[in-house]
Chains A and B, each alone.
Chain A
């Protein structure tokens, strides 16, 4: 009777649960409190399910589940391996925090169409978890598309012409890329007769009777398909998509969507092509070059931004390419770093986005230049921001240090010192655009005009918090608490990288790929 709750059904539950939440939201749309408690309990349950699989996978290897047959030789199947769990853990843990945050954010700003917002959000989680657990390319493709389509209403949420055109751009890049992805899958299936992920890659078997150029072309079709990874020159949807409400930018454009892109790249490189073949075909170095260019150019773009969220968007593009670079170097260390950077960057970047959103919602400020002196009014938020920013630069004791350290070690391991320089330079350039924000926020003089706020409390109860505006409404707590938690986690991940078993998962994944470190 309880076999449906057994381990092999867990991945299915992880997919179905957000789906049920989505339906629940749709039916509970008229009652905001019920709707949001549904979201919260759903996200908690999802996180629990995902985390419960970790020990099993570490001990017994991947969990397999096979559903119905899609095509001859291709099942609708899930395979929960260490790599997938890293991504799933990140998404599901952060969904809880972002759900809490959304309550504060959406209600403070009195956003419209909140039911649609929560509905699409839950649906996007279905996509993200599905991408993480997919056992073959076609299943991956299905969830990849679900993720794209479900996030479209979120990007265009504001319904202004600007938002809708950003949404169109988003679709054009991602669904257009999806067509290339489909083409690449078909070519793969045509060549090998399978699309199952395998640790050694599935192309190595047919290398002898296929032209190398063909395989290289397929690889670039895959890459174009993963426009979600926002590598240059396919990045420009990401800054435009920043018109979305901040919780969307936070979870989807710092974690679920873009990480789905890089996650897919890791999957393709390691499980479809395989490390050896990547080296034979010279694709590793090509991918690394793309990533390196993106790292540097995205940083220069970020320096020029005035809008906080846009700046963070370019910073995301830059950090994503660190992950791509880590994979492209094709050494055990660098791949470990790349896998670790998925959750670590997720936690750090979400901190930054949540801060940006909190600043916009509480103080009504979106431009960086207006933030002078704000650090003293919103101390918790800006402390968290500082932590996140340091993490981006890879300074210890923050999570970013661990992952970048591994990637840098990998660059040395691969003997590619040029990429080591790129990594250092990329991290230094981060400093240039993050530190002025922090400096101005804490140390600059407050400009003459008062910060706009709609409701001034009549009696000042807490003298010591006189300057702080984070405490004026209890609703603000919903925003400040999650960002504080993610900031704390960003530190904890450096000190104890094995929280949620992430470090162990990453090393297991790398062991699988390289056949022992």
Chain B
């Protein structure tokens, strides 16, 4: 049983997703329970997998019993296991949270939503677990296609945004596939471990360089690295809140993971850094992404759009951290994948709650939430402080490693960008705190309460939404407090030697 876990974690959501798609309309409420069951299985599996990896080292699973270079291999090391836990945890949390908001925002499409949701999780888990570049492409497409559909399932604007996402995402996928093709021509293999062995002899080959370049461009597109981010803000803003709550924390982060794999596992780190010098480009791309995302987030009036630009900036943190290319910064970048996923999950869940109660997601809808929705507001505060990087939330710790790495590598531009972004984040979130804390209570004697009542925007979000949000908020603080544990027990094995 334990040996089969790597495939179970992918198969279970896939099967249940298909089951969901056959569920009749009048039974559609049951689809949520299928999804929840699948997510629980994934969560449990991923934890067991991490345990196994911790005790026994890398797991190699040969799909269908075919040996690696020919058959597909699932290869789980610490980094994979870490990503699996992250994905299944966020998926699990979001699934619980999404129940109410899906019922409210997508009436009549509930079964469809849960079907796509599980398919998305399947794809993400597949990307994180597979050890085969082409298999990775397949899962990439599964993820992306469901992603397009999930975004487009919302209102009219969402359809357009989804279409745009589709086009740009497909271009990215094409680039990736082309690159993989080049590598395949040169080496005759698609297995990552195999490639890593074969490639060093071919490092002079122009084909390899071309292939790597295509792969990285394709992935940058999917990661929404500035200036290839243009699909992201619209897609995340107009998507239904349940969708953005799962897509926003995971999609770009998983792609960043793939990038780390390509640069540090498929290629030799020394080669990527000193010969290919891809990291030099990445640190500058990251710097610009951080600055651009921060500046663009400033004037936004829509909360989710603001978060989208913050994601662009956070991607800049991760890519820049990879680009700084020393152990500390890479530690920070990988740690930031985890932290950013948690922070964004937390904030998008808050957005979902506000949407559920107030019917809108603009910053003005946050007026007075500290009074009307105190728990939501507390969760939001934790998320916001984490994004700003206030200790003891997790955001501080990854920022610390990124900054320290930047200082050691003398990447002062990147360091400055991080600090400027921090300052801008302060402005962004305290603007919302102001609205949340002060606006409502000030006018409470006069006329704000009646208008609020007529909006039906009164009271706290339902418990089933609150519990996951509170859980994420706690996790954010716990990650911060126990960051050394996470880094020493899990992350430190993921770095290149």
Contacts and interface: CB of A to CB of B under 8 A. Distances in A.
Main secondary structure of the interface of B (DSSP, over half): helix
A186 B390 contact: no
B391 A186 contact: no
Interface in A420-453: none
Main secondary structure of the interface of A (DSSP, over half): helix
Contact of B430 (A70, A168, A189): A168
A159 B442 contact: yes
B419 interface: yes
Which of under 10, 10 to 19, 20 to 34, or 35 or more describes the interface residues of B?
20 to 34
Contacts of B198: none
Interface of A: 68-72, 112-113, 116, 138, 141-142, 145, 149, 152-153, 156, 159-160, 164, 167-168, 171, 175-176, 179, 182-183, 186-187, 189-190
Contact of B423 (A72, A160, A179, A189): A179
Contacts of A72: 484
Interface stretch (B140-148, B309-317, B403-411, B469-477): B403-411
**10 interchain residue pairs of minimum CB distance:** A159-B442, A142-B391, A69-B484, A159-B438, A175-B426, A179-B419, A190-B407, A186-B403, A145-B390, A186-B404
Given A145-B390, A179-B422, A70 B483 contact: yes
Interface in B410-449: 415, 419, 422-423, 426, 430, 433-434, 437-438, 441-442
Given A68-B482, A70-B484, A71-B484, A149 B390 contact: yes
Contacts, number: 59
Contact of A187 (B407, B423, B482, B483): B407
Given A70-B484, A186-B407, A112 B390 contact: no
B484 to A, nearest CB: 4
A190 B430 contact: no
A186 B414 CA distance: 14
A54 to B, nearest CB: 29
Contact of B404 (A68, A175, A179, A189): A189
B389 to A, nearest CB: 8
25 contacts: A69-B484, A70-B483, A70-B484, A71-B397, A71-B400, A112-B441, A113-B441, A116-B437, A138-B391, A149-B390, A152-B430, A159-B442, A160-B442, A164-B434, A168-B430, A175-B423, A176-B423, A179-B422, A183-B415, A183-B419, A186-B400, A186-B403, A186-B404, A186-B407, A187-B407
B160 interface: no
Contacts of A167: 434
A152 B370 CA distance: 15
B69 interface: no
B481 interface: yes
Interface in B446-497: 481-484
Nearest to A171: B430
B438 A164 contact: yes
Contacts of A182: 403, 419
A176 B423 CA distance: 6
B450 to A, nearest CB: 19
B448 to A, nearest CB: 12
B359 interface: no
Nearest to B391: A142
Given A70-B483, A186-B400, A190-B407, A141 B438 contact: no
A152 B407 CA distance: 31
Given A159-B441, A164-B434, A186-B403, 4 more contacts: A156-B434, A175-B423, A183-B419, A189-B404
Contacts of A183: 403, 415, 419
B392 interface: yes
A152 B430 CA distance: 10
Contacts of A160: 442
A48 B484 CA distance: 34
